[in-house]
């Protein structure tokens, strides 16, 4: 029978054997898979593991600093790279969803390639790929574990791709990854974190992306997610977030008409992201969150709740 402890013991022994005295680079995403992969490698080879955590400027509010701190608290040898400006510049004026994904994926590779050169004599690239990643291609682009998958056809391979690949979670399912993480004493905040797409808020801002739109959506998303946590709803939901719509609508403030942005909130139940049902969140909760958003986030005057299930509606709007 499979148990997390037996898995940890054999995997750590195998990793020690396989890697010996060599160096490994790993791209952390803040998500469960890459974090658990990093902890296993850390247990096996300690400081020979060099982690890179890239801020693409499309993360949740304060996520970059919070997650970085969390990783450092776990003893990981991790370098945070703030490449926000580079991503925003590359995305300027682009509104096609697939093109935005490609740009984010490409810039990620450039940044990761640059950073991997800072680690001298690395011979391995570790990835948090899990078993379902091999079957589906849900993580189509933008995240570290997706890098190899989606870009092996592109000419002029980045240098780090000449490295040997190690994927300690490649035979595990998500629930097993969580159990392994738990037995490695990882924080519940990491293990219970909702899935978040590699291109991040970049595909939740419909249309073109600007720093101002990112700021607005980060504020809205933070109010929604904090609200879910405060009300004990976060763990009952598989994934939640907000979309910034390319729509302005009329509102009133005092005697004045306003013409401001509309956001859509989405929360779904799912087991694997392939199908999903919208969550019947309490009206009182939605009422409070909506008021908070409209009162606190400048530039937003309307909030709607998405009541569409997948299929046919996808979880993300782009
Ligand atoms: P959809 O929108 O296809 O999403 O119902 C299913 C799951 O996949 C995530 N998703 C992505 N993840 N890169 C990613 O790494 C992407 O381009 C991407 N698009 C969607 C989505 O958040 C959900 O968990």
Domain extent, residue 246, equals 204-305
Indicate whether residue 198 lines ligand 1 (CB < 6 A).
yes
Q: Whose CA is nearest to atom 19 of ligand 1?
A: 197
Give, for ligand 1, the residue of 129, 315, 318 to mutate: max count of ligand atoms closer than 8 Å to Cβ. Answer: 315
The DSSP bridge pattern shows strands 49-55 and 23-28 to be parallel
Number of compact structural domains in the chain: 2
Residues 164 and 255 both lie in one domain:
no
Q: Which atom of ligand 1 has the smallest separation from the CA of 146?
A: 15
Q: Above 0.90 for ipTM, yes or no?
A: yes
Residues 148 and 257 both lie in one domain:
no
Instruction: Look at residues 225, 171, 231 and name the one whose alpha carbon lies nearest to residue 196.
Output: 225
Residues 186 and 228 both lie in one domain:
no
For the residues of 208-250, what is the DSSP string, one character each? Answer: ---HHHHHHHHHHHHHHHHHHHHTT-GGG-SEEEEEEEEEEEE
Q: Which residue has the higher pLDDT, 1 or 39?
A: 39
CATH number at residue 130: 3.40.50.620
Indicate whether residue 132 lines ligand 1 (CB < 6 A).
no
Q: Whose CA is nearest to atom 21 of ligand 1?
A: 197
Which token pair is 171?
């035979």
Indicate whether residue 197 lines ligand 1 (CB < 6 A).
yes
Distance CA 207, CA 210 (A): 10
Indicate whether residue 101 lines ligand 1 (CB < 6 A).
yes
pLDDT tens readout for residues 193-224:
999 999 999 999 999 999 999 999 999 999 99
Cα of 197 from ligand 1 centre, angstroms: 5
On whether the CB atoms of residues 183 and 261 are closer than 8 A, the answer is no
Cα of 138 from ligand 1 centre, angstroms: 6
**At which of 170, 191, 212 does a domain end?**
191
- For residue 88, pLDDT beyond 70: yes
Share of the chain above pLDDT 70, in %: 93
Q: Whose CA is nearest to atom 7 of ligand 1?
A: 273
Q: Is residue 25 part of a domain?
A: yes
pLDDT tens readout for residues 138-175:
444 445 544 444 444 445 678 888 899 999 999 999 99
Residues 45 and 185 both lie in one domain:
yes
Q: Is residue 312 part of a domain?
A: no
CA 305, 310, 312, 317 torsion-angle sign: positive
Residues 48 and 19 both lie in one domain:
yes
**At which of 147, 162, 191 does a domain end?**
191
Residues 155 and 288 both lie in one domain:
no
Cα of 317 from ligand 1 centre, angstroms: 10
Q: What are the E-state strand segments in 114-159?
A: 122-126
Indicate whether residue 142 lines ligand 1 (CB < 6 A).
yes
* Mean of per-residue pLDDT scores for the chain: 93
CATH number at residue 237: 3.30.300.10
Residues 109 and 65 both lie in one domain:
yes
Q: Confidence band (pLDDT; 50, 70, 90) for 253?
A: confident
Indicate whether residue 102 lines ligand 1 (CB < 6 A).
no
User: According to the model, what pLDDT value does residue 161 have?
Assistant: 85
Write down the residue that tokens 């391979």 correspond to: 157
Residues 223 and 165 both lie in one domain:
no
- For residue 317, pLDDT beyond 50: yes
Cα of 146 from ligand 1 centre, angstroms: 12
Rounded to two decimals, what is the model's pTM? 0.91
Residues 208 and 187 both lie in one domain:
no
Cα of 16 from ligand 1 centre, angstroms: 34
Q: Is residue 14 part of a domain?
A: yes
Q: Is residue 211 part of a domain?
A: yes
- For residue 295, pLDDT beyond 80: yes
Annotated binding residues for ATP: 29-35
On whether the CB atoms of residues 242 and 200 are closer than 8 A, the answer is no
Residues 217 and 286 both lie in one domain:
yes
Distance CA 172, CA 226 (A): 30
Q: Is residue 199 part of a domain?
A: no
Residues 229 and 269 both lie in one domain:
yes
User: According to the model, what pLDDT value does residue 153 have?
Assistant: 43
Indicate whether residue 199 lines ligand 1 (CB < 6 A).
yes
Which token pair is 226?
């904090």
Q: Is residue 170 part of a domain?
A: yes
Cα of 32 from ligand 1 centre, angstroms: 15
26-48 mean pLDDT:
97
């Amino acid at each position: 029978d499979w148990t997390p402890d037996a898995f940890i013991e054999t995997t750590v022994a195998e990793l020690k054997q396989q890697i010996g005295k060599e160096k490994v680079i790993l791209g952390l995403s803040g998500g469960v898979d890459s974090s658990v992969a990093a902890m296993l490698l850390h247990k096996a080879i300690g400081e020979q593991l060099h982690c890179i955590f890239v801020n693409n400027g499309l993360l949740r509010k304060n996520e970059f600093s919070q997650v970085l701190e969390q990783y450092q608290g776990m003893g990981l040898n991790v370098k945070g790279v703030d490449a926000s400006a580079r991503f925003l510049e590359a995305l300027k004026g682009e509104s096609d969803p697939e093109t935005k994904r490609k740009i984010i994926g490409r810039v990620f590779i450039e940044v990761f390639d640059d950073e991997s050169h800072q680690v001298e004599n690395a011979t391995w690239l570790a990835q948090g790929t899990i078993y379902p990643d091999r079957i589906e291609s849900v993580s189509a682009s933008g995240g570290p574990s997706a890098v190899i998958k989606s870009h092996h056809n592109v000419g002029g391979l980045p240098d780090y791709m000449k490295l040997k690949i190690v994927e300690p979670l490649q035979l595990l399912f998500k629930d097993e990854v969580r159990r392994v993480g738990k037995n490695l004493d990882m924080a519940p905040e990491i293990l219970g974190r909702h899935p978040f797409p590699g291109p991040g808020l970049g595909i939740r801002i419909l249309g073109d992306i600007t720093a101002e739109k990112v700021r607005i959506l980060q504020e809205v998303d933070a109010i929604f997610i904090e609200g879910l946590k405060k009300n004990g709803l976060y763990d009952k939901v598989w994934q939640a977030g907000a979309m910034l719509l390319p729509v302005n609508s009329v509102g009133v403030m005092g005697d004045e008409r306003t013409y401001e942005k509309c956001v859509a909130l989405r929360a779904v139940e799912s087991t694997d992201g392939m199908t999903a049902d919208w969550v019947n969140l309490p009206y009182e909760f939605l009422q409070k969150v909506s008021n908070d958003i409209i009162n606190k986030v400048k530039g937003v005057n309307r909030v709607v709740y998405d009541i569409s299930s997948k299929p046919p509606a996808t979880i993300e709007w782009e």
